[in-house]
Amino acid sequence: MIPRRWKRQRRAARLVLVVLAVALAASACAPDEDTGGGETGGTVKLGFISPVTGFVAALGTDMRRGWEMYWQQNGGKAGDVTVQTVFEDDTGDPEVALTKARRLVEQEQVQLVAGPILANTAYAVAGYVAGRGLPTVQMTGADDLTQRKFDPLVLRVGYTSSQSNFPAGQWAYEQGHKTAVTICPDYAFGWESCGGFVSAFVKAGGKIERQVWHPLGTQDFSTYVAQARQANPDVVFIGSAGGPDAILFYKSWTGFGLKDRIPLVGNCCFADQVFLREVGEEALDLQSFTYWSEGRDSPLVQRFVQAYEQQHKEIPSLYAAGAYTMAQVIAEALKKTGGKIEGEDFINAARQVSLSESLYGALTFDDTNNVVGPVYRTRVQRRDDGTLWSVVEQTFPEVSQFGTEGKEAFLEHPVFSRDYTGQ
């Protein structure tokens, strides 16, 4: 015998479910409004994929903000071409990224897809979009995207994971450091970051004492730091993807008292703004090799930082700057083609874009669609208002994805991995 109260509850529950179902069904009919535009005169429709939910939501949100800021500052136009963007969230998962790319191409009929950021999502999206004969613009680091897996429909407005670390290896040796230890996360980004440093350092004449690989999401870095200390090298290179790993590593590093004993050199993403906000004072004077420096003495960078800070109350990250630069290159290419986006022709036009100044500095592209641009040696300093940021100390101009080796020789090596870092 069921009490009547229960029955009433069940009926209420059924009602709730029915209402939910009807609401879902009703909203299903909604998204057909904006089918106009697209092909008609002077408008292009672009797709933009980044992870705004999930474990890398912070990066994706910054990307979206950077992208929006460029079009905002330019009135949503490239020359007289009106640019319309459809945003999608990939949640950091390649399966989702691929399906979202399908939606953008097949349903929204976008003419170009930009993003996403993680290597696996980028490969999944680029493979599909290029397979449909449409151009895609990427900013992910995965080396092979513009190397051994080069596709004429894929342009990278960004640096490979190893690219900015070649000057780091060379520079470290020239500073008189004969031995080094590298510490990198144990997955593709880390292998490629360390590969850049190691190959250049060894080529210059240095010796790698030890390569320490830590799993992504390490909580306790003491064993890894202890390994580095035991090897007692002249210099330590850390190739981090940022986030908690970078912060926890550095806490361990300073805890061991190594801050003033062994020089530490970071990659693009080690001492980023998230890191500086968390670590504070202790981060002063840290040196990094990167292509994005928020404190670089350039009117363009400072205008961008100011506008971004006004809107979002924080200093823009590498990801915001990267998406902004993607938008800028696409806009320049659109001006060249008169608003036409036709497969390889568009990518060829984009590759011809040469910026005398961008957020990254003077940019050109090589013939496998990757950036050739400056790398900066930066140092963490205090801004006038007391905020920590990185300022440029030295510029290495026109760094190529192939380092100093040249394309053919470089492509003979396998891609950097745990087993091959160019030693």
Partner 1 sequence: MSAARWAGVAALAAGIAAVVAAPYVLPSYTVSLLTLMFIAALLASSVNLLAGLAGLVSIGHAGIAAAGAYGVAWATVHGLGLPAALGVAAALTLAVSVVYALTTMRTSGIVFLMITLALGITVFGLALKLSSVTGGQNGLTGVRRPGMVGEWWQYYFFTAAVYGACLLVLAAMSRSPFGLTLRGIRESQSRMTSLGYSVTAVKFVAILVSGAFAGCAGVLLAWNSEFLSPSVASFSRSALAVVIVIVGGVGTLLGPLVGAGIVVAAEYWLSSYVERWQTVLGAVLILVVLFAPRGIVGGLEGLAGQLTHRPRKEGS
Q: Which stretch binds partner 1 (CB under 8 A): 23-31, 77-85, 259-267, 316-324?
A: 23-31
Q: Are 49 and 90 in contact (CB under 8 A)?
A: yes
Place of tokens 């990307």: 63
- The correct pick among 144, 278, 314, 342 for binding partner 1 (CB under 8 A) is 144
Q: Binding segment for partner 1 among 102-110, 280-288, 302-310, 405-413 (CB under 8 A)?
A: 102-110
Structure tokens at 421: 């870092």
Q: How far apart are CA 335 and CA 340, in angstroms?
A: 9
Question: Toward partner 1, which CB reaches closer, 103 or 251?
Answer: 103
Which of 13, 22, 226, 284 forms a contact with partner 1 (CB under 8 A)?
13
Instruction: For residue 377, state whether it binds partner 1 (rule: CB under 8 A).
Output: no
Nearest to 46 by CA among 68, 65, 79: 68
- Residues 61-100 close enough to bind partner 1 by CB under 8 A: 88-89, 91-96, 98-100
Q: Which residues contact 376 (CB under 8 A, 6 or more apart)?
A: 289, 290, 291, 293, 296, 361, 392, 393, 394, 395, 396
Distances, alpha carbon 242 to alpha carbons 213, 351, 359, 398, in Å? 15, 30, 20, 25
Q: Phi and psi dihedrals of 272, rounded to 5?
A: -85, -175
Query: Token digits for 31?
Result: 């998204």
Euclidean distance between CA atoms 16 and 1, whole angstroms: 24
Shortest distance in whole angstroms from residue 177 CB to partner 1: 29
Q: Hey, what are 133's tokens?
A: 């004969």
Strands (E), 186-234: 207-214
Residue among 22 and 284 whose Cβ is closer to partner 1 = 22
**Identity of the residue, 103 or 259, whose beta carbon is nearer to partner 1 in the bound complex:** 103
Q: Is 35 in the site for partner 1 (CB under 8 A)?
A: no
Q: Does 142 bind partner 1 (CB under 8 A)?
A: yes
Q: Report the residue from 1, 2, 26, 28 that binds partner 1 according to the rule CB under 8 A.
A: 28
Token duo for residue 174: 């020239």
Q: Which is nearer to partner 1, 267 or 328 (CB)?
A: 267
Distance separating alpha carbons of residues 121 and 127, to the nearest angstrom: 10
User: Bridge-partner residues for 181, per DSSP?
Assistant: 210, 236
Nearer to partner 1, 98 or 180 (CB): 98
Task: Using the structure block, give the residue that is written with the tokens 């870095």.
Answer: 221
The span of 162-170, 171-179, 182-190, 320-328 binding partner 1 (CB under 8 A) equals 182-190
Say how many C-beta atoms besides its own lie within 10 A of residue 234's C-beta. 18
Question: Per CB under 8 A, which region of 5-13, 200-208, 269-277, 299-307 contacts partner 1?
Answer: 5-13
Tell whether residue 16 is a contact of partner 1 (CB under 8 A): yes
Instruction: Enumerate the β-bridge partners of residue 137.
Output: 114, 155
Q: Give the binding range for partner 1 (CB under 8 A) out of 77-85, 184-192, 382-390, 394-402.
A: 184-192
Q: C-alpha angle 342/347/353, rounded to 5°?
A: 125
| Residue 52 interacting with partner 1 (CB under 8 A) | yes
209 binds partner 1 (CB under 8 A): no
- Could you tell me whether strands 235-238 and 264-266 are parallel, antiparallel, or unpaired per DSSP bridges? parallel
With contacts defined by CB under 8 A, name the span among 7-15, 38-46, 253-261, 316-324 that binds partner 1: 7-15
Q: Give the helix ranges, DSSP H, for 232-373.
A: 244-255, 273-279, 299-312, 318-337, 343-352
> 119 or 350: whose CB is closer to partner 1?
119
Q: Is position 159 an interface residue for partner 1 (rule: CB under 8 A)?
A: no
Q: Which stretch binds partner 1 (CB under 8 A): 112-120, 289-297, 302-310, 403-411?
A: 112-120
Report 388-417 residues binding partner 1 (CB under 8 A).
Answer: 417
Residue of 107, 222, 232, 311 interacting with partner 1 (CB under 8 A): 107
For residue 9, state whether it binds partner 1 (rule: CB under 8 A). yes
Alpha-carbon distance 117 to 389, whole Å? 23
> Can you give the binding site for partner 1, defined by CB under 8 A?
9-10, 13-14, 16-17, 20, 24, 27-28, 30-31, 52-53, 88-89, 91-96, 98-100, 102-103, 106-107, 118-120, 123-124, 127-128, 142, 144, 149, 186-189, 191, 417-419
